[in-house]
Structure 1
Amino acid sequence: MSELIEIERKFLVVSDAFKSEAYKRTQIVQAFLNSDKRRIVRVRISGEEGFLTIKGEPSTDGVSRFEWEKQISKSDAKALLKLCEEGVIDKIRYEVKSGAHVFEVDEFFGDNDGLIVAEVELSESSEPFLKPKWLGKEVTGQPKYFNAQLLKHPYKSWNQ
């Protein structure tokens, strides 16, 4: 297995204008076999595909971390979901082009209804990118916005 480092920045979304700009929309259901921050093991069904993902602990600034992902069958993913820790993340992911980059905008449902977060993957942490008008406050590296944490402390329980 070769090491892969994911570099991304995460932002809150301040309007639903991204929906009309999206070129792709996918329903995602995911849960965690292990949600320890040092080694997260995620099972995901994204549309008609299944995935098994392992993520390492984030860097100090929260911008990068190890990520390994393997596509698996949807039926295998459904079976693995039954073994996961309690709770499921349910969201729709919108993909929106902005300049040379693609933002993945996640609109959450269930216990995280009302939360909308956008991520952009970069080739290096200092890489510039075009910020869409609907992009709000940066929350890169803030653990409460990690999906594994949203299961333990859902958005509906936050004091707003």
Structure 2
Amino acid sequence: MIEIERKFLVTSEAFKEHAFKKTRIVQGFLNTHPERTVRVRIKGTEGFITVKGIGNESGASRFEWEKQITEEEAESLLELCEPGSIEKIRYEVKAGKHIFEIDEFFGNNRGLIVAEVELHEEQETVTIPNWIGKEVTGETKYYNSQLSKHPFKTWNHEK
């Protein structure tokens, strides 16, 4: 039940031509406490409830428990969520022996594109595609639970 993943910013939409899967996701949070978040998600036509714990020092590993629920149950639970929801399209792209999940955000997070790759161990070697930019693993402002409260459109985007 420990999830290990690295997270990166995406520098272009070149990943779209390599995607083998594309899924719409809507999610909200019943709890966004930093030590435990409870997420409700509709992914395509499937519902899920997920509990995540606090990350380790590197931010790459943390407890995650997920249970599939019906779409109707997820819709009902979304009504109870804290203010601020997440809308995104998830693309899946194979790179080397890994699959990158690239989230293109919409709504108040439009303009943000983030890629995640799940690992078996933190030190695992990953083939990094050329459309990957800065690594943001462990930067909590990129957690979906934080994006629901402090969306990308509210950030200071000075260059």
Q: Which one-letter code corresponds to 1:142 in the other structure?
A: E
Tell me what 1:97 maps to: 94
Q: Could you report, residue by residue, the CA deviation over 1:46-85 in whole angstroms, capped at 9, with x for unpaired residues? A: 0010000000001111000000000000000000000110
CA RMSD of the aligned region, Å?
0.4
Q: Which one-letter code corresponds to 1:82 in the other structure?
A: E
1:64-75 alignment, distance < 5 Å: 64-75=61-72
Using the alignment, how far apart are the partners of 1:34 and 1:158 within structure 2?
Answer: 22
Residue identity (%)? 64
Tell me what 2:16 maps to: 19
Q: CA deviation at 1:152?
A: 1.2
Q: Which one-letter code corresponds to 2:143 in the other structure?
A: F
Q: CA deviation at 1:119?
A: 0.2
Q: Which one-letter code corresponds to 1:21 in the other structure?
A: H
Q: Which runs of 4+ in 1 moved over 6 A?
A: none
**Which ranges in structure 2 are unaligned for 5 or more consecutive residues?**
none
| TM-score of the aligned structures, taking structure 1 as reference length | 0.97
Using the alignment, how far apart are the partners of 2:91 and 2:105 within structure 1?
Answer: 11
SS in 1 for 2:17: helix
Matched, 1:62 2:59: yes
Using the alignment, how far apart are the partners of 1:138 and 1:29 within structure 2?
Answer: 24
Q: Which one-letter code corresponds to 1:115 in the other structure?
A: L
